[in-house]
Amino acid sequence: MTDTDGSNVLFVVLDTVRKDRLSVYDPDMETTPRLAEFAEEAAVFEQAVAPAPWTLPVHASLFTGKYPSEHGATQEDPYLEGATTLAESLSAAGYDTACYSSNAWITSYTNLTAGFDDHDNFFQIMPSELLSGPLATLWKTMNDNDTLRGVADRLVQVGNKIHEHLAEGGGGDTKTPQVIDKTIDFVDESDDFFAFINLMDAHLPYHPPEEYAEEFAPGVDSTEVCQNSKEYNCGARDIDEEEWADIKGLYDAELAHIDDQLDRLFSHLKETGQWEETTVVVCADHGELFGEHGLYGHEFGIYDPLVNVPLMVKHPDVEPGRDDETVVELVDLYHTILDAAGAEGRGERLESVRSLLSADYREFAGDVGGVPRGDVGFVEYHQPVVELRQLEGKAQSAGIELDEQSRFYSRMGAARTADEKYIHCTRIPDEAYDVADDPGETENLVGTDAEPAHLEDALWAFIEDVDADWPDEADGADGEVLDEMDDDTKDRLQDLGYID
């Protein structure tokens, strides 16, 4: 038994899932009817803001309650170090803790699995027992030793190369059924549990199971459509409207498969009498772009399809229904889960003002840059140096010269309220949008009478508060970070598939 009075916790991250492709947020979509049924007994938030547009920093924020500049897990240094995690706090409180995913970033390799009693990574061909289970301690020892780390790196590299080859050819099978199976076994064997799962199907490349492809993308050959975002983003590959429709159809098919598998887990919890005693949080870590702003994937931008993410929470203290106004930062889920579990936190301490279960949620004292703190969420995007090198490689192969004064070489930050948004980039002009009336972010309001008041000040006040170092590098000096990176770090990023 735990030494708290908290509930069980199931924390589900739908990797790379856009709000507008879910039935929950658009009733005309037929992708996730079962998730829509779940949403009827949960609070559904329209204004949830992710702290970054990609997996590693977002998960590190979820697990530590810190913003990216505070926990430091970025592309320059892709490891979470020196922070006590949510799983460590709940394990200390007496919970059985488990993490199951098929995302290559969520492993002992990056330290994101610290504190989980059991964790398994179903990253395609990579043998999961090398990254979790009884050999997790050995794996960590290998990575902490300079000589043995080279051996560990080579093991990851081999698995990653096989995965890349199969995925490009349509041979990368979904691992979501295994993730759900493992989770069911775990919760059935636990009296008090914290189960975290990441479902990866909606991440490129899209090769959905045949039955779902037939329904949502009939006649589409997933190996023929563009599955490499960098080819499109650098201009080496064009995508017409018909191909975008095919890509979205494959994406929707992946969502439908997730929906069925997640329903299998929810149904099991109900059938075994565990549902009422379990807090359930479902969110995306980030979304995806399908040509908006000339971008594909989730790199080189922090527009709303990437950072305004779906979020649903089921708990007795959270009233079911749709909330269109409250700005929720995903960082707050750390505190919400501590609160649900009745734990104080051994790293960042529980702040009731950041818990969705609290009556005073987001009632912060004071403001930030003239904006009430509870009304604004913040996004950080450290320069994507790894994707940039990949992009440069694709461009060079196609004889294309990239403009260095572009978003590709920029570091970005954003402040977003329920109605307005301000984006700062280091190498291109700032952008501001009325996201209430212009949800597609098509009309830049910077320099106009309609420019959002105080949001730029709020962003810079936040940057100072989290002690981010990028404002002083607005001259583009951060563009050289990969050149200055040591060989070991480059090797690790290569092993994870971020450098060719």
| DSSP conformation letters of 6-71 | PPEEEEEEETT--GGGSTTT-TT--S-HHHHHHHTTSEEEEEEE-SSSSHHHHHHHHHHS--HHHH
Report whether 76 contacts 92 (CB < 8 A). Answer: no
Residue 470 pLDDT: 63
Domain with CATH 3.40.720.10 in the chain: 8-373
Give helix then strand counts, H and E, for the chain: 16, 16
What pTM, to 2 d.p., does this model score?
0.88
Residue 145 pLDDT: 55
Q: Mind listing the pLDDT tens digit for each residue in 92-114? A: 999 999 999 988 788 887 889 99
Domain with CATH 3.30.1120 in the chain: 375-495
Q: How far is CA 246 from CA 26, 219, 235, 279, 366, in A?
A: 19, 9, 20, 37, 48
Residue 181 pLDDT: 97
Residue 247 pLDDT: 98
Options 3.40.50.300, 3.40.720.10, 2.60.40.10, 3.30.9.10; which CATH number does 8-373 get? 3.40.720.10
Question: What architecture is domain 375-495?
Answer: 2-Layer Sandwich (3.30)
Query: Edge to edge, what strands does the sheet with 431-434 contain?
Result: 377-381, 412-416, 420-425, 431-434
Residue 75 pLDDT: 74
Residue 144 pLDDT: 53
Residue 134 pLDDT: 43
Q: What is the mean pLDDT of the chain?
A: 87
In whole angstroms, give the CA distance from residue 201 to residue 291: 20
Retrieve residue 104's tokens. 């290559």
Retrieve residue 195's tokens. 């189960």
Q: In the chain, which stretches have pLDDT less than 70?
A: 1-5, 122-173, 470-500
